[in-house]
Structure 1
Amino acid sequence: MALDIDDPKSGFRHCEVVLFINEEVTKNGGGPGFYLTFRSRPWKDIEDGLKSVVVDTQVPRSIKRACAWSALALGVRVAVRQREKQLRRVQQLHDQVEEHEAATWTLATDLQRLREERDEVVSELRSAKDNLKQVILERDMLQRRLVEFELSQRLLAHSRDADYPGTPPRALIIKENREALDTGFQDEQRAVSPKKAQMASLTDTLHGAEEFPASSV
């Protein structure tokens, strides 16, 4: 018997077909030799083996027919083997597609998380900028109040000492204190200039973050 009815890799689904091929091989004087020799070989080798039998003038025609039936059965076997190989390849491609989709989803999730973190940082920087402005305004106001208070104290002291000889005129005291007030603010502005530079840098950072393009997922 050339073909085994119970062989799942033969490619045949009906035992009647297998029995018929075996009968034709046996009827023409053939045996399982040709089929067993080439059952694990590619079609190219099977066809070459059949050709060597067909062109051999010493081989009876009946044997050639028997080998042809075996080659037919081997062709079905090869087709099944190729189909299984293609199915495995399709499954591999399918798995790769799923892996790529999973990776794409992960990247999209990471991108969304980074965008949310960026927005949060921008909000914190904007809040810090507003708070810094408010602190500077309050500091300037308190400084002016302090200088004005010192001026009022000096004027009050002058009014008490006005009857004493050598006391500077009231107008001169006011002028001196106004000059001191202006000088104090100028010194403070020079001291604050590094802080202004920091605020400018903070503003640039906010602007850069707000202009960052939002990538679509």
Structure 2
Amino acid sequence: MAVDIDDPKSGFRHYKVVLFINEEVTRNGGGPGFYLTFRSRPWKDIEDGLKSVVADTQVPRSFKKACAWSALALGVRVAVRQREKQLQRIQQLQDQVEEHETATWTLATDLQRLREERDEVVSELRSAKDNLKQVKFERDMLHRKLIEFELSQQLLAESQDADYPGTPPRPLTVKENRGTLDTGLQNGQCAVPPKKDQMASITVLDTLRGAEEFPASSV
């Protein structure tokens, strides 16, 4: 018997077909030798083996028919083997496609999350920038008010400590030092008020100038 009826890899589904092939092989003087020799080889080797038998003039025609029936059975077996390989390859490709789709979905999800995080960070940075701008503005305003207050207190103290009680104090105001104050704030520096002795000198000079303008004889 050339073809094993119980062989699931033979490629044949019907018992009567396998029985007929085996009968033809046996009737023509053949046996399982050709089938068993080439059953695990590709179709190229099977065809080459059959060609060597057919081309040999010393081989009886009946035996050539037996080998042809065995080659037919082997061709079915090769076709089944190729079909199984193709199915396995298709399954591998499908698995790879599913893996790629899963990876793509994961990457798309991560990308969307990163975009949302980026937008949130940008919004927080803008809010922090606006808050910083407001804080700097309030700081500058408080700084200005503090300097004006300290300067006004100094001027008031200098006017009260004047050495010429008969002369009304010169109305020194903060506006006279506004230029220095604004320049210091624009440069990011604290405008330093005049020292006490400098203020005293200014007060004395202003008083003398007033005495020259209004001499005692004219009173």
Q: TM-score range by the shorter chain?
A: 0.7 to 0.9
1:62 equivalent in structure 2:
62
Q: Check whether the contact 2:30–2:66 (CA below 8 A) recurs between aligned residues.
A: yes
Q: How many residue pairs get matched? A: 188
1:30-56 CA deviation, whole Å, 9 max, x = no partner?
100010010011111111111111111
Q: Check whether the contact 1:9–1:80 (CA below 8 A) recurs between aligned residues.
A: yes
Greater RCO (Cα-Cα under 8 Å, separation 6 or more): 1
Deviation, 1:106, is 1.6
Residue 164 (structure 1) aligned with residue 161 (structure 2): no
Residue 184 (structure 1) aligned with residue 181 (structure 2): yes
Residue 37 (structure 1) aligned with residue 37 (structure 2): yes
Aligned-residue sequence identity (percent) comes to 78
Deviation, 1:183, is 1.8
Q: Give the distance between the partners of 2:167 and 2:7, measured in 1 at CA.
A: 131
1:97-152 CA deviation, whole Å, 9 max, x = no partner?
11111111121111111111111110111111111111112112212222332344
1:135 equivalent in structure 2:
135
Q: Check whether the contact 1:3–1:32 (CA below 8 A) recurs between aligned residues.
A: yes
TM-score (norm 1): 0.79
Larger radius of gyration: 2
Residue 119 (structure 1) aligned with residue 116 (structure 2): no
Deviation, 1:164, is 1.9
Q: Give the distance between the partners of 2:168 and 2:147, measured in 1 at CA.
A: 21
Amino acid at match of 2:59: V
Q: Check whether the contact 2:2–2:36 (CA below 8 A) recurs between aligned residues.
A: yes
Deviation, 1:153, is 2.9
Unaligned stretches of 5+ in structure 1?
193-217
Q: Give the distance between the partners of 1:137 and 1:165, measured in 2 at CA.
A: 45
Q: Check whether the contact 1:158–1:167 (CA below 8 A) recurs between aligned residues.
A: no
Q: Tell me the C-alpha RMSD between the 2 structures.
A: 2.1
1:211 equivalent in structure 2:
none
Unaligned stretches of 5+ in structure 2?
190-219
Q: Give the distance between the partners of 1:83 and 1:7, measured in 2 at CA.
A: 16
